[in-house]
Amino acid sequence: MWMDSSVRSGAGKFKQLRHFTAVTGLALALAACAGTSSRPTEKTTGTAQPLAHLVVATPDTDHDVMAQLLAGEMALNHTDLKAASGHYDKAMALSNDPKVAERAADLAIAVHDEAAAQRALDRWQALGARPAEMAQARAQLALDRGDAVEARHQLELLIGSGDKDAWRLFGRVLVAARDQAQAARLLEALATPQRLPSDAQAWLAMSELGDKFGRHAYAGQIADAAMRRFKSAETYAWAAQMKFKDGDKDGARALLQKALAKDPKNPRLRLVYAGVLSQAGDYAGASGVLEHGPQNADIYALRAGLAAHDRNEKALAGLYRELKQAAPETRETSAYLLGQLAEMQHLDAEALAWYEQVGDNDPHAFDADLRCAMLLHEQGKRAEAHQLLEQLQVDSLDQPAQLRQAWQVDAELYLSEHNYAKAEAAFSHALQVVPDDPGLLYGRGLVYAEAGQIDLAVKDFQQLLKLKPGDIDASNALGYTLADANRDLPEAERLIGIARAAKPGDPAIADSWGWLQYRMGHLDQAAQSLQAAWLARKDADVGVHLGEVLWKQGRKQDAQRIFDEVRKLDPHSSNLQATLKRLQP
């Protein structure tokens, strides 16, 4: 938006070095090299050099403006605002550069040193500060000490100064105020339709500031007034957003249609309109608005999101073809989206190529690397996948959320390989980063269960249920683990029963219930539940369970048919191999 939201009193402003044109005399130290010999020094008859006896005065640090400026900048580099303010306070007294005095005032206000701020402001004014800048700084100082009367006086001087930047500076003062409620009252009192300039951007900025302060009635009033006065696409669009926030979706749509009529090719307006339509549930309308007119990376991303929401595979395929033909800059910006679209078309090699093109500065760079690791693993390049994830773990040491993800993906890939030792190690590393994380505890519990370390699996699932009492997945996992180990079957029945009541049609829970019934000797009930789970989802482990139950019922031909189907699903199923060895020793 038009208004600069930088905060003059914030520490971040002072991290960037600035160069000033402060004029100072630099002392030059002149040194003469004298030769020495073992003979007595003879009297020199030649004429003495003109600079031989010149003494150059070197100012001490406290009176050296350049030394103070350098010390101030060094302090800013270490975000020590108080020390920086002290150095600039001294530099200001030694320099005739108004920029030095301005910086000194900024720093003094930032550290709430009113006396130093007053000195700096007086010095800055004496050196020729613009009246608008001076009123802005004095208003900010008044707000910093809670003097609303003086702040209002200075702000009135500011907006009455006629300065071209007056309203921009006005907005900066209010944004930087420590007391936002006080700033909001001043906004409503001074930024009125009668006072605002003939500049639509100023009106929009004040409306947006009011919205930021929670003064929605004021924000809407200014937005409506700006729309009536300027009748521009941007004022219509902002007024529409205010109406949408108030729940007037029809009014918002009508205004956005007017905005688009004013500027039909504006990508930002089309995005706003499509966003309003999609939030109202009109996904087809939103897609229609975006499909026509110039495209950019943001529009392609929203179009993809809408198509994915509708599970429109045809639209996603068409969008992928279209985006591949877009301008090079758009393709480069959309590399991650192209990778996702390629994956949706099961074009894994193309997806991997797109993900590898995502730049390091792209906000999706980390996610792209994760997807690369997964795709490499699916292609059988396990060593490359784990190597990439190890590099991500090193690169993410200062990013706990990303580090957790990198460890978790690594663990899940090891689990899929049945490499339980490395899977457990990866999950445990992740739990060191995020202790008691439910997802990580669940994953490690599964690893322990698969590895036959039942006590450790039960411990993790029980801890998870302490963190999330009644959690359906945790209840089912713990119940199944107990049933599979043929221990504490009443507790297993209670836990799986909880999950079954919450999700009666879930195939995984039906499998757990059927396997529990088998352990309890209820073969008919087991077969019935497992048959339902198998029909709902052809999962290799479910098939193995069903086959074993059928075998125990004496239905060996039916069991063999199920085992054959399992071989097609997972030719290397270790569960199937172990079961057949047990049934056919």
HEC profile for 79-96?
CCHHHHHHHHHHHHHHCC
Q: How far is Cα of residue 472 from the mean position of the Cα atoms in its chain? A: 30
3-state secondary structure of 38: coil
Q: Which two tokens stand for residue 580?
A: 């057949």
Amino acid identity at 382:
R
Alpha carbon dihedral 318, 319, 325, 331, in 10-degree steps, equals: -160
pLDDT value at 43 more than 60: no
**Residue-wise burial string across 158-178, b where 16 or more C-beta atoms lie within 10 A, e elsewhere:** bbebebeebbbbbbbbbbbbe
pLDDT digits (tens, 9 = 90+) for 260-313: 899 988 888 889 888 888 888 888 888 988 988 889 999 999 999 999 988 899
pLDDT at 279: 84
The closest alpha carbon to 301, from 258, 276, 267, belongs to 267
pLDDT value at 372 more than 60: yes
pLDDT value at 41 more than 70: no
**Whole-number CA gyration radius for the chain:** 36
The closest alpha carbon to 432, from 455, 407, 453, belongs to 407
pLDDT at 285: 87
**Non-local CB neighbours of 209 within 8 Å, separated by 6+ positions:** 3, 171, 174, 175, 187, 191
For the segment 504-510, the average pLDDT, to the nearest whole number, is 93
Round to whole Å and give the CA distance between 456 and 447.
10
Share of the chain above pLDDT 90, in %: 76
pLDDT at 407: 96
pLDDT digits (tens, 9 = 90+) for 180-200: 999 999 999 999 999 999 999
Round to whole Å and give the CA distance between 576 and 580.
6
Q: Residue 344 class from Cβ within 10 Å (0-12 exposed, 13-18 middle, 19+ buried)?
A: middle
pLDDT at 289: 87
pLDDT value at 356 more than 50: yes
Tokens 């700033």 sit at which residue? 183
pLDDT at 60: 62
Q: Which two tokens stand for residue 309?
A: 């929401």
3-state secondary structure of 246: coil
pLDDT digits (tens, 9 = 90+) for 4-26: 433 333 333 333 322 223 323 32
For the segment 560-583, the average pLDDT, to the nearest whole number, is 91
pLDDT at 140: 94
pLDDT digits (tens, 9 = 90+) for 104-129: 999 999 999 999 999 999 999 999 99
543 versus 56: the higher-pLDDT residue is 543
pLDDT at 371: 97
Q: How sure is the predictor about 27, in pLDDT bands with cuts at 50, 70 and 90?
A: very low
pLDDT digits (tens, 9 = 90+) for 207-265: 999 999 999 999 999 999 999 999 999 999 999 999 988 889 889 989 999 998 999 88
For the segment 426-445, the average pLDDT, to the nearest whole number, is 95
What DSSP letter does each residue of 474-543 carry, written as one string?
Answer: HHHHHHHHHHHTT--HHHHHHHHHHHHHH-TT-HHHHHHHHHHHHHTT-HHHHHHHHHHHHHH---HHHH
Range 364-466: architecture per CATH: Alpha Horseshoe (1.25)
Q: Residue 196 class from Cβ within 10 Å (0-12 exposed, 13-18 middle, 19+ buried)?
A: buried
Round to whole Å and give the CA distance between 440 and 443.
5
Round to whole Å and give the CA distance between 498 and 495.
5
29 versus 410: the higher-pLDDT residue is 410
pLDDT value at 59 more than 70: no
pLDDT at 23: 29
CA distances from 583 to 477, 541, 548, 559 (A): 25, 16, 8, 11
Round to whole Å and give the CA distance between 534 and 566.
11
pLDDT value at 53 more than 70: no
What DSSP letter does each residue of 158-212 carry, written as one string?
Answer: HHTS--TTHHHHHHHHHHH-S-HHHHHHHHHHHS-TTTS-S-HHHHHHHHHHHHH
pLDDT at 292: 84
310 versus 419: the higher-pLDDT residue is 419
